[in-house]
Structure formats: structure tokens, C-alpha cells
Amino acid sequence: MWADTLFIVLISVCAALFGEGLTWLLVYRTEQYKRLKADVERQCKKIEKKKEVGELSGLRQKKKLERDEDRLKTANRDLSMVKMKSMIVVGVSFTLILSMFNTIFDGRVVAHLPFTPISWLQSLSHRNLLGDDYTQCSFIFLYILCTMSIRQNIQKLLGFAPSRAASKHSTSIFGPQPNSVQVSPYK
Amino acid sequence: MSAKQEKNGISSSKNTKTKSSYYLIHRAITSNSQWPDKDDFLDVIYWGRQILGLILGVIWGVIPLKGFLGLLLFCIVSAVAVYLYAFTFQNVDEEDYGGAWEIVKEGFVTSFAGFLAMWIIIFSGLHFKD
């Protein structure tokens, strides 16, 4: 069981590094991205500072804050647009890589789960496996778990993850993102 | 700027980063440290939690712990460890971070994924043959 599981970890690490490398090539190293990111960070700090100090006494200050927040939303949207290009390329690459490995590991039990997953997770954890033993784990489930942990940590290690303040105020072109990233509205 | 000056600039920046990492680790292991930058403290919580998740995954896999109990115990141990570290060892003011919950939930999802992966790998490797 070691060979398959460790191989899947290796695939996750390589895929995460590949994804971040590709994104760096297409997005992170461009002047436009650096400028937009600096704008967003600056605006976030400005807004957080104003809220901290409590500069909201008058109507004028409130309107100023609203204007700053609008400016931040625009900067965030522009940043999302810049990242969109790499997201599409990385998404397509990952899909190809995933379908290749899915074919290789099709019908293969790569690990045994120490718990029985809940029913709606079983379609993922027991994907393309024969039998009713739902503690048998398929490639895709373990790969997803490894990727969730490894990719996020690699992004943070390399400094590509957005700051907490920026995550809090982030919006995509589809509108405000759900607050899935840890955010600290600290004083 | 000459190539030599640029090289010196890059190596000096690396030295600064290394020094600040050592300083961060030093503060993390020293009780009642000062945290002027709140992000630094939250980073310590985040990375500590990732390491804790992997360690618990190894332990749970070796014992082996199974079922919902293993999941529940992880959640409890992880939350209690972070709470004790933040409010007993470091004595931070929760108001500075928007409440205890903001600290306790920092890095939970990623550490949970890492814990699950490690638990599954160790459990399968030690207790099942190919």
C-alpha cells in the first residue's frame, strides 16, 4: 500500500509545484499583477486602519470609507481578471493530468480508510471500485485530500497566497467570494 | 546598480528573511511574546496546526484509531491545543484578533486535510498488505 499512497503524494506535490510555476510564469511575475496586488494590499491596510482608529464619526468620513471600499472592489476585480488566464490554463492542465492518472488507477484500491465515509462522499472515495466495502479508497479521494493540504501550504511557503486582509475583501468577477479563507478582522 | 551590488542586495535580503524567521520561531517558543504584527502570530498558529495535523495523523494511523471517534478526537485536540497555546502560553488578547474563534479556526481546514491524508496513508501502510 505504501507505493501507491506515496506515489499519489508525489503526484500532488508535483502538480502543486507545476500549477504554481505556471501561474508564476503567466501572472505573478508580470508588472500588472505586482501593481494590482500592491494596490489591493495598500487599500486594505488603509481601510483596516480607518476602521481600527474609528474614523467614522462624520458622514463625510463614512462616504470616504465607502469610496475606498469601492476602489478596493475594483482593484480586486481587476486582479481576478488577471489571474483568470492562468486559472484556465492550470485548470485544463490539471484536468488532463487527473484523467491520465484516473485511467492508470482505474478500479485500483490505493488505500484503506480508517473510517467509513458518509454516503455522499462514498461516490468519491469508492469511485470505480468493485464491491461494497466503502473503506476501500480510490485514487481520486486520496489525491484530493493531498492536494487540499499540499497546494495551500506550497502557496503560503512561496508567498503566493493573498494576505488575510486581502482575502477578507476579495471579490471575483462573479461577485464576492464566500469567506472560505481564514480571515482575521483583528483590531 | 552593478551586478556585485545587486548580488549583495539579494543576499542581504535573504539574510534579513532568515533572521526574521529565526526571530519568529524564537517568539513562538517563548511564552508571553509580543506580537506587534498580528499576521505573524496567526502564521505561527497556521504552521503549528499543519505540523500538529501531520503528527496526529501518524499517531492515529499507528495505534490505529478508527471511525468517527478518530475524526472527533482530532478536532478536539487541535482546537484545545491552539486555544491553550494562544491564551495560556502566549496570553494574547482575543480582542486584538476579533475574538477567540478567529484564532481557533486559523488553518483548520488545511490541517484537517493533511491529517486525513496522513492518517489514511499510515493506517493503510502499516495494517494492510498489497
pLDDT in tens, A36-92: 888 888 888 888 777 766 655 677 778 888 888 888 888 888 888 888 878 888 889
Residue B8 pLDDT level (bands cut at 50, 70, 90): low
Q: Give residue B77's pLDDT.
A: 97
Among B75, B129, B73, smallest CA distance to B104 is for B75
**ipTM of model:** 0.85
Instruction: Identify the three-state secondary structure at position A136.
Output: strand
Tell me whether residues B109 and A3 touch, CB distance under 8 A.
Answer: no
Residue pair B111/B45 in contact (Cβ under 8 Å)? The answer is no
List the grid coordinates of A115: 473510517
pLDDT tens across B70-114, in order?
999 999 999 999 999 999 999 999 888 888 999 999 999 999 999
Tell me whether residues B117 and A9 touch, CB distance under 8 A.
Answer: yes
Q: Give residue A173's pLDDT.
A: 46
Instruction: Identify the three-state secondary structure at position A172.
Output: strand
| Alpha carbon distance A151, A147 (integer Å) | 5
| Angstroms from A149 CA to nearest CA on chain B | 5
What is the mean pLDDT of the segment spanning B22-44?
90
Does the CB of B110 have a partner CB in chain A at under 8 Å? yes
Closest residue in chain A to residue B101, using alpha carbons only: A184
| Angstroms from A178 CA to nearest CA on chain B | 15
Dihedral over alpha carbons B89, B32, A183, B74 (to 10 degrees):
-10
Residue B81 CB burial class (10 angstroms; 0-12, 13-18, ≥19) = middle
Residue pair A49/A85 in contact (Cβ under 8 Å)? The answer is no
pLDDT tens across A81-107, in order?
888 878 888 889 889 988 999 899 999
Residues from chain B that touch A148, judged by Cβ atoms under 8 A, are 109-110, 113
| Angstroms from B52 CA to nearest CA on chain A | 13
Does the CB of B36 have a partner CB in chain A at under 8 Å? no
Closest residue in chain B to residue A185, using alpha carbons only: B98
Tell whether the model's pLDDT for residue A183 goes beyond 50: no
